[in-house]
Amino acid sequence: MTRYERRQLRRIERRLETTDPVLARALSGRPTIPRPVHRTSTRVWAALLGIALVAGGATVHLPLAFAGCLLLMTAACLHVTRPRPIPP
């Protein structure tokens, strides 16, 4: 391979890494580490904190209750969109 071709190949690889890093990792042969976005602990903590904010906000300060409602909606969205195992 000539020097020009190697430079072009490196340029294409860099462009691919910036536009689609997942595909670039898959093509490079490096193992990809799946990172769970919707972990169970995140959903549980969001729901518990939302309930606490709603309860505390209802008694102390109303904007806290509003923040709690938003957090509960976020927890519900995370619960609904969680990855489910594919049955065999």
The pLDDT value recorded for residue 87 is 65
Residue 10 sits in which domain range? 1-33
How far is CA 17 from its chain centroid?
19
Mean pLDDT confidence for 34-59: 82
Structural domain count, the chain: 2
Give percent of the chain with pLDDT exceeding 90. 20
The reply to whether 41 falls in a domain is yes
Q: Which helix (H) or strand (E) holds 76?
A: helix 62-80
51 in the same domain as 26? no
CB 83 within 8 A of CB 38: yes
pLDDT (0 to 100) of residue 69: 93
Task: Give the mean model confidence (pLDDT) for residues 9-28.
Answer: 81
Please check whether residues 51 and 18 belong to one and the same domain.
Answer: no
Which amino acid appears at position 41 of this protein? S
Residue 11 lies in a domain: yes
Q: Are residues 44 and 77 in the same domain?
A: yes
Verify that 19 and 43 share a domain, yes or no: no
Q: Tell me, yes or no, whether 88 lies in a domain.
A: no
